[in-house]
Each structure stands twice: as C-alpha cells, then as structure tokens.
Amino acid sequence: MKRPNAPFIEPATADNVTRAVAWLRAGSLIGLPTETVYGLAADAGNADAVAKIFAAKGRPADHPLIVHVASAEAAKAWAASWPAAADKLAAAFWPGPMTLIVKRASHVLDAVTGGQDTVGLRVPSHPVAQAVLREFAGDGAVPAGVAAPSANQFGQVSPTTAQHVAEEFPDQLLLVLDGGASEVGIESTIIDVSGAAPRVLRPGRVRAGDIERVLGVPLGEATDDAPRVSGALASHYAPRTQTLMLAEPRLRMQLRAFRNAKAAQPMRCVITHSFDAEPMERLRTIRLAADAETWEFELYALLRELDQERYGTLIVETPPETPEWDAVNDRLRRATHGSSPDDL
C-alpha cells in the first residue's frame, strides 16, 4: 500500500544536514530553521523545485521568493550590481535577520523573482541554516542558493518551530530539520537598495534607526511603486480567531463591560503589556513583558496556539508607538485587519 505523503522532523545532526542537502539537490523541499522563522526551502536554481514551493503554499506565482546563501560574497553572485549601501548593510547585519533587494543577476529564475528585475537575498545566522547553505553551495562560479519563503500556507502566520512547519503541510513529503525555536520569531527586515534611496519594505528585528546609522542617510519612504511584497498585503498575517487591538484605557473599559454583562459570554483571551487584566470567568489573560523583542519572539507561536483553542475573540493591548515596536505593530495591524471593537 502506498503511504500518504507527510512531513517528518529530524534532529539537525551533521548527517541530517547532509541528507537535507541531498534532498535539495534532488529538487525536493525541506523545512529549514532560521533565526527569524522557518523556511520552506528549495534549490533556487531549479525551476521545478521552486514550483513545488508555490504549489505547497498556495502562493500566487507573482510573489517573489528570497534567495538564501551562506555569505555576502555568495550573495553578490546573485546580483547584477552591488551598491555601496548593500556593502555597508551586509557588513553590519549579515549573517542575520535582514533581506536586501538588489538588481538580479541574469541567471536568476523568473519563478524566483516573480518576473521582477530585482531579487531578495539573505544570509541567515542560524547555525543549521548556515551548515545547509555552506554544504549546498557547491564549487561553481555561482554558489547554489536556497529559495525559501516562510513555511506556512499562504496567508497564515509564519512558523517558529519544526512542529509548526509539520502542522502547516500535513500532506507534503518534507524533511524538516529541527533547529529549535527561532530566536527572533518574526520575518527578516526587508531593505530595498535597488533604487535611488534605500527603503524598508518590511520592518523586522534590524531597526530603521540602526539602518540609518549604518547608511549615514535617512531612509526613503516605501511608496506604491515599491516592488511587490506579499507581506505588504493588508491582511497577510491572519490568524483564524477574530483578533483586535485596543489601547489600554479602552481595553480596561471593555474588560469592565465583560465583567458586568448579564448574558452568557463567549470564551475570550486578552494579551496585555502594561497591566494585569483582572481574572474573570470565560477570559484567559496573558501578560507579556513590555519589551518589543519579547513580543516578536512570542507573537506567532502564541497566535498559533490560541487559534487552536477556538476563542471567540482575542484582544491585544495596543503596543507602544515607538520605532522599536515597528515590526510588532506592523504584524499586529495585519493580524487584526478588518476587525473592529464594534464586533465585540
């Protein structure tokens, strides 16, 4: 009898890294741990392998993929030109949670770039990702690269553990290397250096202020002519549970209203950072430290866990508006898109 396809999780031993590289060379998909989130990885030079990523994710073909390589030197082989800004940013933040958008080299597949004249490049710092990329690179003039979007179904939150990846692709034959929980927890900062002024297309752990310090000039505004980023869709990071944000005063009022309600209440969950919500029936309360890095690390895993518990509503206390919180606010705006307090 034919066994159904399914993912399987393997510890990231040296043998399993070699095995994962063999899978990539054979045109198969693997689940790749990185410090930001897990990727669904394929040989970026193999159009059939790249097509499997789009099919598995249900992702529209015109959404470009990031190519991952082991070093800035390797990244340059995937670019047609390497501006001074790219040099400075690579020196400051690679290996690490940053993706650079540059003009693509002519060998880069259309399937990877979505037909655009640019390509996204990243050098991850996770030791398992580094080991896979170094071994996969080979000794050609162009080091082989790995195309990897976040390993989630299109429109779902990104996975931060090997188990999450397996849950997202239950029917996919997939070798998932277990590299532990991703230490950043949200996707890389994307910086477009292909135009006149560098600009941030997606905020992440590498902060705008740090980028400006390294570049020595202010960042440009991301405008409508920015290259297509699927993470830029208003509701891209969508949990299934209705999720909304309320600022602290409004949230306290709402909690009082729940407490005083006469009718039976649905199960709800609230996540705060500035105060402890008083316990009450049919309300789960979670308080995360008022620190952007903690929220980045916890957010997706928490959304995923809470989604499985089928709460009527998840209410998140609006985070501070300071630049440090840009990435958290960006992801929460998408997760709460279309929900309003009137729905409560």
The residues that touch ligand TXA, with contacts defined as CB under 6 A, are 34, 36-37, 39, 63-66, 99, 101, 113, 116, 118-120, 122, 148-150, 187-188, 190, 201, 227-231
Cα(272)–Cα(294) distance, rounded to whole angstroms? Answer: 12
Nearest CA among 184, 221, 153 for reference residue 297: 184
The site partner of 74 among ligand TXA, Mg ion, none (C-beta below 5 to 8 Å per kind) is none
| Contact flag: residue 182 with Mg ion (CB under 5 A) | no
Q: Which is nearer to Mg ion, 99 or 336 (CB)?
A: 99
Cα(263)–Cα(319) distance, rounded to whole angstroms? Answer: 30
| Contact flag: residue 241 with Mg ion (CB under 5 A) | no
The site partner of 227 among Mg ion, ligand TXA, none (C-beta below 5 to 8 Å per kind) is ligand TXA
Q: Which is nearer to ligand TXA, 189 or 318 (CB)?
A: 189
The site partner of 189 among Mg ion, ligand TXA, none (C-beta below 5 to 8 Å per kind) is none
Q: Which is nearer to Mg ion, 150 or 339 (CB)?
A: 150
Q: Which is nearer to ligand TXA, 120 or 319 (CB)?
A: 120
Cα dihedral sign, 54-134-160-9: positive
Q: Which is nearer to ligand TXA, 192 or 317 (CB)?
A: 192
Within 10 A of 4 (CB to CB), how many other CB atoms are there?
Answer: 8
| Contact flag: residue 46 with Mg ion (CB under 5 A) | no
Q: How many residues bind Mg ion (CB under 5 A)?
A: 1
Cα(117)–Cα(114) distance, rounded to whole angstroms? Answer: 9
Asked if 106 contacts 61 with a C-beta cutoff of 8 angstroms, the reply is no
Q: Which is nearer to ligand TXA, 113 or 318 (CB)?
A: 113
Tell me how far, at minimum, the Cβ of 37 lies from Mg ion, in Å.
Answer: 8
Write the interaction track for Mg ion spanning residues 95-134; mark x where CB under 5 A is met and - where it is not.
----------------------------------------
Cα(87)–Cα(109) distance, rounded to whole angstroms? Answer: 24
Cα(302)–Cα(304) distance, rounded to whole angstroms? Answer: 5
Between the two ends of the chain, the Cα-to-Cα distance in Å is 50
Tell me how far, at minimum, the Cβ of 63 lies from ligand TXA, in Å.
Answer: 5
Do you find a cis peptide bond into 124, omega within 30 degrees of 0? no
Nearest CA among 42, 39, 25, 67 for reference residue 128: 39
Q: What SS3 state is found at 22?
A: helix
Strand positions, DSSP E, 17-117: 30-32, 39-43, 66-68, 98-103
Structure tokens at 9: 């999780």
Q: Which is nearer to ligand TXA, 66 or 77 (CB)?
A: 66
| Contact flag: residue 150 with Mg ion (CB under 5 A) | yes
The site partner of 39 among Mg ion, ligand TXA, none (C-beta below 5 to 8 Å per kind) is ligand TXA
Tell me how far, at minimum, the Cβ of 33 lies from ligand TXA, in Å.
Answer: 9
Tell me how far, at minimum, the Cβ of 258 lies from ligand TXA, in Å.
Answer: 36
Asked if 97 contacts 188 with a C-beta cutoff of 8 angstroms, the reply is yes
Give the interface with Mg ion as residue ranges (CB under 5 A).
150
